[in-house]
């Protein structure tokens, strides 16, 4: 055997060429010697696991971030100042963040492990003419494998002989129905979902038997290609981490520049080098936002808790905020937007058109005629059509503690459920009409028929179901509303079929024939002619009701929803219309949807243009899902990808945020995703987006609140150096301000509730910085106000003869109380605190009370006075401090009010913060 590279065209080769290429026998299989040689050549039939980074390297890489560099610099500075406690606190923050990041990243490597586990199992193989069961890992190219109902396909097979074979490929291709298979040679251009002569590794045999030759094993299989796509998918930074990295880099250079400027200015003024070095250290410590990483982690963790209560489990913390930034959701159809349960929705029988309510396999719902519920007992033609679907059926619908579950073919189970809605049951029907013989469904005949005994001296009955064309040409008449024979109008039936098919419905025709009571066997000749047409049953995998509302909510939030599925384009388009996915401009667009074959011909530029215009992509292969996500990202979108199958995993990993289904999803999809929905409900994504926006709001609020302290502290040091004055605050006092206010005041903003209209804003443009020009102005204004308050009161105290310790205590308290009153301004970046409700965030009030108590201890406790160089304050001095804080609150409040008055109500400038 000279096979060294995988052939993508096994489906297009005749069997004799394949047998020659693989050097095997289609009846006897491989010899033991050939198996041994090929096991050495090709290795075991399992996926290669990419060696992960060592745990130590994974942990150390958590420190490889600009913001962490700043904090490590702060640690070094405080160590240089011999402030051991403060150095320990700052480094502790860095260490906790690194541990959390390490644990989150460690989970991500499980995706490929889950893929490898999915290939384990056993297979029935013929070797040397002897059938035997072996571990599927031992299969080699050229092996002859036998398949039967319930088997997991152990490798990629080219099918040789098939009998009624149907394979569930939904996890690989997204096809909602089991695929009928045959051994016929196909065109080389046939796309993967349409390769009826292939059986792919890890798909499931739902019906029938077959034999096939192993053509690919391990990494060369289709699932192996998906494994390679997952491994190759780029781990993207989230919008939050990108913006924080940019922000931290800019902040780092500003701090270094200001520290250097401080030293230069001081030296030019004739001050000592050591004094200037200490001043530069104080400025650097003051400008570093030590509490920011902890605040970010805790705010995201609070968002994780809120999302968990709404059935969304977050696997990676930054994914919380990414959802709030999402501009496009790419969703799989089957099992995500739809129920993944075939449901009969329309029946045409006795010249009447009926509709059925209810979705899924539960036999609960109404039968309606002209929009009104009816009693099926008064509609004999309807009952006979339903009975035919119930009896000409080999599947089962079983009630369990967890709900209704199916055994067999989803189409047949849909027929059972439809009959159940009319009060019929399989057991009762089987008891009434005992089955004697069956003609099972075969692809070449396109029908199934069953023979039933109606009782002694009563004609027997043959029931048939199958494709419309196949059944119609065997019918000589049709049964009217009272089961009386009438002439059959083929064109009228076909018109109904066309109408149903245009809605994406799968249509089955049903018929019956009376036969002698003594007949006990059934042959194809018995159903070649003379049947009576009973009607049509039309079904589909219906959209989730909650998904329709969720899509509408996404539209109002300015988020595009794209359906990317392996299903047929007609079905996908019909579902999209029911979901409201197609915008008015798309309803008559050309094309409304694009299939995988068209996608394969598009260049990267053409694809980028097409993804902006089209909302439905059908018959899409796994690597094409990946291309679509990459094209949207290239257009500047923040992409969330939802899915539940193996075929979704590479795109889930590539997307800015991958969202997997927890109940119906495969382990591969869950491991590749950033978020898992525990209720498999698309509407949960909308709730998660809402929480993500709230989390981002609260993070921006914290940054807007905390940076003025750093700006103010830096300005106080810089002004003091330039003026040749004594430093109003010392490095250790700066650390006290930064750490205590961040924990007791700033972190309380993480508990703020969602603001009104949060889901009526457009998504934030991905390139929008964390701080807009408006917020930059507010931070600068607040920094200047803190400078004026702290430096002004410091100089006032010294001019009135107060000690240096007393003046510095006043300056420190001015910073703290200025931030305290400013905190109420930051509860919303748009509205006043009274619009939100003064008591709507009780944790903030608790934090304020704790901060006031701590400042009293800071000022009057002898221990604190020795540690921080503070002194007691008089009532008059407290009046100055509190008055300064109130003035700051009033000035910032006036700036918010003036800015709101000069902007249109729907302005996205503030709504995108």
Residues recognised as catalytic:
332
Q: Return d(Cα 142, Cα 157) in angstroms, integer.
A: 9
CA distance 88 to 78: 9
Q: Pairing mode, if any, of strands 204-216 and 144-148? A: antiparallel
Tell me, letter by letter, the H, E, C secondary structure of 595-648. EHHHHHHCCHHHHHHHHHHCCEEECCCHHHHHHHHHHHHHCCCCEEEEECCHHH
Structure tokens belonging to residue 903: 């902007």
Longest dimension (CA), the chain: 123
Q: What burial letters (b/e) apply to 732-766, b meaning 16+ CB within 10 Å?
A: bbbbbbbbbbbbbbbbbbbbbeebeebbebebbeb
User: Are residues 582 and 617 in contact, defined by beta-carbon separation less than 8 angstroms?
Assistant: no
d(CA 22, CA 45): 16
Q: Which residues pair with 146 in a beta bridge?
A: 124, 211
In sequence order, the 6+-apart residues with CB closer than 8 A to the CB of 401 are: none
Place of tokens 């503030």: 910
SS3 237: coil
Do 59 and 105 contact (CB within 8 A), yes or no?
no
Note whether 362 and 403 are within 8 A (CB): yes
CB atoms within 10 A of CB 424: 19
Q: Which residues contact 879 (CB under 8 A, 6 or more apart)?
A: none
Residue among 585, 699, 586, 559 at smallest CA distance from 642:
559
Backbone angles phi, psi at 352, to 5 degrees: -110, 150
Pairing of strands 403-407, 593-595: unpaired
Phi then psi for 131, rounded to 5 degrees? -80, 135
Query: Reduced to 3 states, what is the DSSP secondary structure of residue 696?
Result: helix
Q: Which residues contact 197 (CB under 8 A, 6 or more apart)?
A: 11, 158, 159, 181, 182, 183, 184, 185, 186
Q: Is the dihedral of CA 125, 130, 132, 135 positive or negative?
A: negative
Residues 663 and 823: their CA atoms lie apart, in Å, by 43
Which region, left, alpha or beta, applies to residue 323 given φ > 0 means left and ψ of -120 to 50 means alpha? alpha
CA-to-CA distance for 748 and 299, rounded, in angstroms? 9
Helix, strand, coil % over all residues of the chain, rounded to 5: 55, 15, 30
Provide the token pair at 783.
């920094």
- Is residue 610 within 8 A of residue 602, CB to CB? The reply is yes
Find how far residue 627's CA is from the centre of its chain.
17
Helix H, strand E, coil C: the string for 123-146 is: EEEEECCEEEEEEHHHCCCCCEEE
Reading the block at residue 905, the tokens are 């109500």
- Which residues, 6 or more positions from 254, have their beta carbon under 8 angstroms from its beta carbon? 287
Distance CA 20, CA 223 (A): 25
What are the residues facing 343 on neighbouring strands?
540
Q: Which residue has the tokens 């605190």?
A: 833
């Amino acid at each position: 055997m000279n096979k060294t590279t995988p052939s993508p065209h096994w489906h297009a080769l005749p069997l004799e060429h394949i047998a020659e290429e693989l050097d095997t026998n289609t009846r006897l299989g491989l010899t033991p010697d050939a198996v041994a040689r090929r096991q050495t050549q090709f290795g075991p039939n399992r996926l290669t696991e990419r060696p992960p980074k060592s745990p130590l390297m994974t942990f150390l890489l958590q420190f490889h971030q600009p913001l962490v560099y700043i904090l490590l610099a702060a640690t070094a500075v405080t160590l240089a100042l011999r402030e051991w406690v403060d150095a320990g606190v700052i480094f502790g923050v860095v260490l906790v963040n690194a541990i959390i990041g390490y644990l989150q990243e460690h989970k991500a490597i499980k995706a490929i492990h889950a893929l490898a586990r999915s290939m384990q199992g056993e297979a029935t193989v013929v070797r040397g003419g002897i059938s035997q069961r072996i571990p599927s890992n031992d299969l080699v190219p050229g092996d002859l494998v036998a398949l039967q109902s319930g088997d997991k396909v152990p490798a990629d097979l080219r099918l040789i002989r098939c009998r009624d074979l149907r394979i569930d490929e939904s996890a690989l291709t997204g096809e909602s129905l089991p695929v009928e298979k045959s051994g016929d040679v196909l065109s080389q251009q046939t796309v993967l979902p349409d390769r009826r002569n292939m059986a792919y590794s890890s798909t499931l045999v739902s019906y029938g038997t077959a034999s096939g030759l192993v053509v690919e094993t391990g990494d060369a299989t289709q699932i192996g290609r998906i494994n390679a796509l997952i491994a190759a998918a780029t781990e993207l930074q989230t919008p939050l981490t990108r913006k924080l990295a940019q922000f931290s880099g800019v902040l780092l250079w500003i701090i270094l520049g200001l520290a250097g400027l401080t030293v230069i200015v001081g030296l030019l003024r004739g001050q000592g080098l050591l004094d200037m070095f200490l001043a530069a250290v104080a400025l650097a410590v003051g400008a570093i936002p030590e509490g920011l990483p902890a605040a970010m982690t805790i705010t995201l963790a609070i968002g994780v808790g809120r999302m968990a209560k709404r059935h969304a489990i977050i696997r990676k913390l930054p994914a919380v905020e990414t959802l709030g930034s999402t501009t496009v959701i790419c969703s799989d159809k089957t099992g995500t937007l739809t129920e993944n349960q075939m449901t009969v929705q329309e029946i045409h029988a006795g010249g009447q058109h009926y509709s059925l309510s209810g979705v899924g396999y539960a036999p609960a719902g109404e039968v309606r005629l002209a929009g009104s519920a009816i009693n099926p007992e008064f509609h004999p033609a309807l009952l006979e059509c339903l009975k035919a679907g119930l009896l000409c059926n080999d599947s089962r619908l079983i009630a369990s503690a967890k709900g209704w579950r199916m055994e067999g073919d989803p189409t047949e189970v849909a027929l059972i459920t439809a009959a159940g809605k009319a009060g019929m049951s399989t057991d009762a029907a089987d008891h009434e009409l005992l089955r004697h013989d069956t003609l099972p469904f075969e692809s070449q005949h396109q029908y199934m028929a069953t023979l039933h005994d109606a009782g002694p001296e009563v004609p027997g009955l043959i029931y048939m179901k199958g494709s419309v064309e196949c059944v119609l040409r065997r019918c000589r008449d049709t049964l009217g509303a009272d089961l009386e024979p009438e002439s059959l109008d083929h064109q009228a039936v076909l018109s109904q079929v066309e109408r149903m098919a245009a809605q994406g419905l799968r249509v089955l025709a049903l018929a019956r024939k009376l036969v002698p009571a003594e007949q006990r066997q059934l042959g194809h000749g018995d159903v070649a002619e003379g049947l009576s047409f009973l009607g049509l049953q039309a079904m589909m995998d219906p959209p989730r009701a909650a998904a329709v509302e969720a899509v509408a909510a996404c539209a109002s939030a300015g988020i595009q929803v794209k359906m990317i599925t392996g299903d047929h384009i007609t079905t996908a388009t019909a579902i999209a219309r029911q979901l409201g996915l197609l915008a008015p401009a798309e309803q008559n667009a050309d094309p409304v949807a694009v299939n995988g074959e068209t996608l394969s011909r598009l260049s990267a530029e053409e694809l980028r243009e097409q993804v902006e215009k089209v909302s439905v992509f059908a018959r899409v292969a796994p690597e094409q899902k990946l291309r679509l996500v990459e094209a949207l990202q290239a257009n500047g979108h923040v992409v969330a990808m939802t899915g539940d199958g193996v075929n979704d995993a590479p795109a889930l990993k590539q997307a800015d945020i991958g969202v997997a289904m927890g109940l119906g999803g495969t382990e591969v999809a869950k491991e590749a995703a950033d978020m898992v929905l525990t209720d498999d409900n698309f509407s949960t994504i909308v709730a998660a987006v809402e929480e993500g926006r709230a989390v981002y709001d609260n993070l921006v609020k914290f940054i807007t609140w905390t940076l003025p302290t750093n700006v103010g502290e830096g300005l106080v040091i810089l002004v003091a150096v330039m003026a040749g004055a004594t430093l109003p605050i010392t490095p250790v006092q700066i650390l006290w301000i930064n750490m205590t206010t961040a924990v007791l005041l700033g972190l309380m903003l993480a508990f703020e509730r969602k603001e009104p209209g949060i889901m009526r804003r457009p998504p934030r443009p991905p390139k929008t910085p964390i701080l807009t020009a408006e917020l930059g102005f507010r931070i600068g204004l607040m920094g200047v106000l803190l400078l004026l308050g702290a430096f002004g009161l410091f100089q006032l105290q010294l001019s009135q003869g107060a000690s240096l310790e007393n003046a510095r205590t006043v300056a420190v308290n001015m910073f703290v109380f200025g931030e305290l009153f400013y905190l109420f301004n930051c509860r919303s970046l748009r509205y006043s605190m009274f619009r939100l409700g003064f008591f709507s965030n009780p944790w903030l009030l608790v934090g304020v009370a704790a901060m006031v108590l701590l400042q009293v201890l800071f000022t009057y406790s002898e221990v604190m006075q020795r540690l921080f160089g503070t002194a007691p304050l008089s009532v008059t001095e407290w009046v100055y401090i509190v008055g300064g804080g109130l003035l700051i609150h009033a000035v910032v409040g006036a700036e918010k009010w003036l800015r709101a008055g000069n902007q249109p109500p729907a302005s996205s400038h503030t709504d995108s913060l």
